[in-house]
Structure 1
Amino acid sequence: MRSPENSRGAMHPPSQLTDAEIISLAQHHHHFNPVSSQLPPFLLAESSHPILLSFLHSRAAAAADSSTAVSDYVSSLISLISHHPCAALSSLLPALLHAYLSLFTSLKIPHDRNSLSIIQQFAGHLDAIEIRKIPEVIDLVVSYFPQISELDDAQVLILLPKCIELVRISSEIDKPVEYVNSVLDAVIECDWSNVLLIKLVESIRDFASCIDKVRRREFLQKIFAKMREDVEMQDLPGLVYQLLVLAAKGFGKREVIEGIVLYFGGANKGGSVMKQVEGTVLLHVNFAVKQDPSLGQEVLGLVRQDSRAFNHFTVTVLLSVARIRRFSDSAIDILKTALFNAYKDHKFAKVCRWLPNELKEEYLENARVIEKAILKSVNGSHYGREHIIPSIVQLGFGLLHAVEEGAQKEISKSDGLLGTDELGTQVLKCLFEVHDMSRNEVSDLVYNMANEALLFLLLVLK
């Protein structure tokens, strides 16, 4: 039999550790064999969880350098939990994550590189959290979205993709798909700062498979609406790049391409800075089409099916895409066809007695818009877009060839329209004037194209 003293000793709770001792213990386990090392009973008792969490809150409130104090402590606990996956420690992890997120979202700890490191560590252990606790994490993160205004505030988004995926595939969550959809609806409906917009576009690709077609469209509509409001110009190239990555993954390809060309085609701010931004965006689009030719097909299809999408940036994109071998002819043909059809529609409408004047004016305006878009694109071709020079030469001669072949000889130049031959001439003339630093290159391209045209003519006459 055990003595009364031993019996009383067995009833005593395990000796309590301090937060500093826990950090030292984690460091010791890190340097030696963490698996074979025994943990003190205090850490293995679920009754210790409130004390362990109180250390976290104390460090957040009292430490002069709360960032380091909190991160050292939380990182130590995560390390001990990951190397000793017993039931007691595993149940501590979700409570620790929730407590840390509560401090983060209530701005009681700094948002800095230390907080980023901790959140990344938590993200690596989400699989170890009991699945029924994951919705609590999601709700806490999403409810914080309206407060995100700085880049470091958005660190919590790191947790969202994995959490959503875990819930979606879970058999233990009641109606997981409905829950995920409700989360997505909440994200779409909340207020987005510029920072949240950018980070969401980066994050969406990691859980795109969880988003249905309707909500994909709603996401993209809100993204482009937000872009039109107040996105900083320097953020646009990165944002477009992320959107193109999304599109390449099948996330609303047509909507992404349409949104990009309509946004930049309608942007009337920024002057030369915006033109430089457009040049960078153009390179992103060109690279994306090279990687995924189906995006190029979306560009061509958009112009074929929707005349509203025809603007100077659409022209520039087509000229850029024409530099890719598989689109070299089709992209230029799309441009010429759009122009020729506009001329034909105007010619028909002008002599048609039963068409109302408003519709006649609409056809005339459409032809004017296309002419102006082509010339505006050529005028802006020196802002980081030198790679489209050969395409411009090809387009200019293509328009002149159309006149020589008789296809467009009857197009009227009245009503302020240039007509095919004059437009082709203006394209080449404008190109030569704009690129004063590379006129020799332009001259060589024009000379070579002219020789090819002459050779073709001789072969035909022969």
Structure 2
Amino acid sequence: MERRIISLYGDNSKDVLEATLDKLNSEQLKAFVVDAIRTSSTDPVQLTKALCFGSPVEKSRGLERRKAVFHDVLDCVNDETQGDKTCGDVVGVLMMEVDAFPVEQLAELCDYFLGKIKAGEVANGRCLELFPKVLSSIQWMPNVPLVGDCSGQMTGAAYKSHMINKVCSCKWSSGVVIHLAAMFRDVTMTTEELRFVLEKVVRMLDGITLTELPPLVYQLLLLANKGHKRLVLDGLCTYFSKLDKQSMTDDTGKDLQAEAPADLRPTQGTVILHITFAAKQDQELGREFVKTLKVCQQRSSSSVLSPFVLALALSLARIRRFEEPVFEILTSAISRSYRDAEKRKMSRWAYETSPVVSNIASLLMDVCRLTGWEHVMQGLVQLGFLLMDSNTPKSTGFCADTPQRQTCALGSQVLLETFKVHDAVRADILQQILNRIVVKTSSSAEHYLDLLTAAAVHSPQTLLDSLPKVREAFDYLSYLPLSSAIGLLRSVQPLMNLSASLKDSLILVLRKALFSREVESRKVGLAGFLLLLRKLKVLGGCVPCSQASQPWSASQIQVEVHSQVRPSGHEALCLDILGNIRRCMTQQMVIRKMLYQGLYHVLVANPELRTSVLDLLRRQLELYYIADAHQASPVSLESCFTMSGDVAKCNEPVGDLLLAVQSCLEQCLHWLDTAEDDDVTADERTIIDKTQKMVSGIVRRLQKCELEDFDLDKSAEYSTATSVGAKNHMSAGLVWVSTRLL
């Protein structure tokens, strides 16, 4: 029979088709429709067209049959087991036939959909696809009679508004929320109607499962394209902030409420992706979110700093248009949070009246540790650097517990935690740290150096993978302030034993800096070499420093240092470094003083270099030592000065030299007293004996000296205004320092 019906429709035999359908009862027609849709034994689309074609609305039997066909098709389509394509095609046929219905039947169809929604019998959204078409057709009717218990009539537009109100006022089951949100996208609504619908959908967020949230948010965002974007954003932020609050714990680790489900963060991540994508397509949505952030920040910084809102803001900050305002709001909220916490701490009144400030550090650490939110991590890195850049420590007057210091420390913590957890951003973090260290020539870079040190300790392999960037930073080493240069070398020092090429590159840079014309560059080169001498441990015995003047090639150094067979492999490199810094003893006085002070720390940190260091200092002292015991003065002050015309210039801080020799000698004597005879070589014993004899002679003779023995007299001129007085003043200073130290 179904084939005959379709055949008559194809032949356009309307009268014959109508007569044939009149002979069938409603149960038979329903069976034809259900069988066609479910089993596809016949084409359901053609069958539906044929049934509508043979059921003219002008005749009562045709109208009733058409209504029955609509109900049968919708009931069958509502079966969740049906395929989407077949059901969609059949519903499309009904959409084309809706306009033929009189207004009373359109109202009855509206009541049919309302009944399904109230009963929670909407298994999928296919049957609801017809509802917007029915509402669209009815709103243009001049008068619509009310059906059911109500009586009277109203205009089509009023009836449509009335029907939307009834749909939103009834109780929705959790399974129908997404379908209704999708359905309302196709309904033409006024601003107030749209607001009413959006408020209803937002309220339903609490009633659905986490797995259903992303598709519902997607539908909400599509609905928000019509208006009321802020309402949707406020609703989403409030809802997810509430979930975040439920998942937080107090300081003791005890849950405040039930723990958050395991899929909360993945769900939030998907929702953030939906919102970010929508903001890229419609920038008005992003602007509304920025306005929402500003309002929340002015009200309370804690409302901005929930994990969801923070992650959403960081994700939207990747859009260039919103980058600046978003980061400005976030940094302001974080700084305000620390200021409020300080006020609560300092004032009892503020503690009792102001709201409790959330733990910002803990919150940001939680966001850093999240996996699956890679789209947020880049913004988090940028936020961390902004917090550090805008709160750079001052050299003076900077307390450790000020809000500014806490904010800077928080930025460092964020970057370090992100560096530890997320491999993808490590290279970017390292590059930005090195860039800031290099360009911070006029301000402190200590906080960046501390961060680099922590990163190198945690993941040295990342720095090894970025050796070109580290070498590039070394190229700027001699231009950095001394403190920054030393900090940079200390930070990358763990890599020295892992990469021979990096060590060779550093030595070349330091050697170049050591012989630069600029005094500050020389300081950097010397400080770097002294640091290497302290860190490169020599495991075996060492030879006298006289051999340090022998040439060593870079290839020899690499083989000696990194040989796994020879335990004293650093010996060759240390001797090469000692040979380089020996030339500093002919440079400016400030360089020599720095060298003498540093060599003692080298000897303490690297005891195997004791005799080499002591011999180096002894040879330098011999240049100013007067061996003739008949002369009262043991030190030649004249040799410490050079004359430039009438102006005398002191080149040798002989007091610091004597202090270094004496301090190193004490360490060597202590070692000599405790060491076994077989452990002390003849050369080592000779160097110690010579130095001890020289120092003893200097001390003994200085005890008997008078000022006149140094060509100084109490009546001599010591005014720095004249060249003679300036020289006498400096000479007296050297004598005073030398006698005081010894």
Percent identical: 23
Whether the 8 Å contact between 1:168 and 1:210 is mirrored in structure 2 is: no
Corresponding position: 1:24 with 2:11: no
Is 2:417 aligned against 1:446? no
**Residue equivalent to 1:121:** 93
**1:340 alignment partner, one of 335, 341, 348:** 335
1:69, distance to aligned residue in structure 2 (A): 8.5
Equivalent of residue 166 in structure 1, options 137, 143, 166:
137
SS of the aligned residue for 1:423 comes to: helix
- Alpha-carbon distance between aligned partners in 2 of 1:23 and 1:41, rounded to the nearest angstrom: 14
Cα 1:342–1:222 change in 2 (3 A) is same
Give the unaligned 5+ runs of structure 2. 145-153, 248-258, 445-478, 480-742
Contact between 2:98 and 2:134, CA under 8 Å: does it hold in 1?
A: yes
Distance 1:73 1:288, change over 3 A: closer
SS of 1:210's equivalent in the other structure is: coil
In structure 2, do the counterparts of structure 1 residues 203 and 180 end up closer, same or farther at CA, with 3 Å as the change threshold?
A: same
Read off the aligned partner of 1:390 and give its amino acid letter: Q
Whether the 8 Å CA contact 1:396–1:424 is kept in 2: the answer is yes
- Between the two proteins, the alignment pairs up a number of residues equal to 412
Q: CA deviation at 1:257?
A: 1.2
C-alpha distance in structure 1 between counterparts of 2:428 and 2:181, whole Å: 41
Describe the shift of the 1:402–1:145 C-alpha distance in structure 2 as closer, same or farther (beyond 3 A).
same
Alpha carbon RMSD of aligned pairs, Å? 3.8
Query: Are residue 243 (structure 1) and residue 195 (structure 2) matched?
Result: no
Give me the whole-angstrom Cα distance separating, in 2, the residues matched to 1:96 and 1:24.
18
The residue that corresponds to 1:358 in the other structure is 352
1:197-244: CA deviation from partner (whole Å, max 9, x where unpaired) = 01011111111x32442x433433332332213x22222211111111
- Give, as a single letter, the amino acid of the residue that structure 1 aligns with 2:134: C
Alpha-carbon distance in 1 for matches of 2:172, 2:5: 43
Deviations 1:118-139 (A, max 9, x none): 3332123222323442111111
**Structure-2 separation of matches of 1:220 and 1:309:** 23
* Letter of the structure 2 residue corresponding to residue 130 of structure 1: P
Give 1:395's aligned amino acid: L
Does residue 301 in structure 1 map to residue 291 in structure 2? Answer: yes
Change (3 A) 1:410 1:146: farther
Displacement of 1:163 in angstroms is: 1.1
1:387 is matched with: 375
Q: Is residue 399 from structure 1 mapped to residue 404 from structure 2 by the alignment?
A: no
Question: What are the within-5 Å matches in structure 2 for residues 24-423 of structure 1?
Answer: 24-27=4-7, 29-30=9-10, 34=11, 37-41=12-16, 43=18, 51=22, 55-60=25-30, 65=35, 68=38, 75=45, 78-80=48-50, 88=58, 95-103=64-72, 112-113=82-83, 117-149=89-121, 151-152=123-124, 154-173=125-144, 174-207=154-187, 209-213=188-192, 215-229=193-207, 231-250=208-227, 252-267=228-243, 268=247, 271-306=261-296, 307=300, 308=303, 310-348=305-343, 355=349, 357-360=351-354, 362=355, 365-366=356-357, 368-380=358-370, 382-383=371-372, 385-404=373-392, 413=401, 419-423=406-410
Q: Is the 8 A contact 1:66 1:110 kept in 2?
A: no
The AA in structure 2 aligned to 1:210 is M
Residues 85 and 425 of structure 1: CA distance in aligned 2, closer, same or farther (over 3 Å)? same
SS of aligned partner of 2:390? helix
Q: Which has the higher contact order (CA 8 A, sep 6+)?
A: 1
**TM-score in terms of structure 1 length:** 0.76
3-state SS of the aligned residue for 1:404?
Answer: coil
Distance change in 2, residues 1:55/1:226 (3 Å): same
Question: Structure 1 pair 42/402, CA: closer, same or farther in 2 (3 Å)?
Answer: closer
> 1:427 is matched with which residue?
414
- 3-state DSSP of counterpart to 2:391: helix
Higher mean displacement: 260-269 or 292-301: 260-269
Checking the alignment, whether the CA contact within 8 Å between 1:347 and 1:412 is kept in structure 2 is: no
Unaligned runs of 5+ in 1: 1-19
2: CA distance between counterparts of 1:305 and 1:459?
A: 38
Measured in 1, the distance between the counterparts of 2:79 and 2:221 equals: 33
Give the distance between the partners of 2:401 and 2:393, measured in 1 at CA.
Answer: 18
2:276 and 2:316 in contact (8 A); partners too:
yes
TM-score by length of 2: 0.49
**1:90-117 CA-partner distances (Å, limit 9, x unpaired):** x777534532455578889956346665
Tell me which structure has the larger Cα radius of gyration.
Answer: 2
Deviation at 1:335, TM superposition (A): 0.7
The secondary structure found in structure 2 opposite 1:323 is coil
Contact 2:78 2:123 (8 Å CA) reproduced: no
